[in-house]
Structure 1
């Protein structure tokens, strides 16, 4: 992993921004739409882990990404 202290404040910054965006999103849209979209963050985090932390994306992780993406799509899909 990365042992650099400068990533700590950057992490806090992005965490705070995420909280602000989540609050703003909940003010504008239903929770049944907004909350599942947070799961997309897990997919993004997996790619960041592969790029910056040299983590391996296994077949199980790919399957999990597909299931998460499919669930978010069907939950947010409005006819």
Structure 2
């Protein structure tokens, strides 16, 4: 479970670096290069963690759980980039949570039936 949490964090940090790199594209400087490098570094770390995670967790369960990362990015974007919560974003986040819960619950039921 810690691998999944770190995977979320690396994915979110990569998105933040990408946003910061994009902000400075009009007048590129050293910060643009650093943020762009950070983007790919965090995405690469997330990829490595993903491989190790899939050794322990079924893909059908792990992949939907990655959707929770979208919710984390939503909160980070509101907090650090002054983006706004809208009813559509809140509804979308709730649907993601509902979907992940349904997939997880369905997988748990399937496992119990097999025993």
Higher Cα Rg, which structure: 2
Which of 17-26 and 61-70 deviates more? Answer: 17-26
**For structure 1, which runs of at least 5 residues remain unmatched after alignment?**
none
Counterparts of residues 56-75 of structure 1 (less than 5 Å): 56-75=84-103
Q: For 1:14 and 1:44, how far apart are their aligned partners in 2?
A: 15
- Would you tell me which structure has more helix in proportion to its own residues? 2
Counterpart pick for 2:62 among 17, 34, 43: 34
Q: What TM-score results when the alignment is normalised by the length of structure 1?
A: 0.85
Q: CA RMSD in A?
A: 1.6
2:34 pairs with 1:14: no
Q: For 1:52 and 1:14, how far apart are their aligned partners in 2?
A: 18
Shift of 1:17: 1.3
Q: What TM-score results when the alignment is normalised by the length of structure 2?
A: 0.61
**For structure 2, which runs of at least 5 residues remain unmatched after alignment?**
1-19, 25-30, 110-115
Shift of 1:52: 2.1
Give the paired residue count: 79
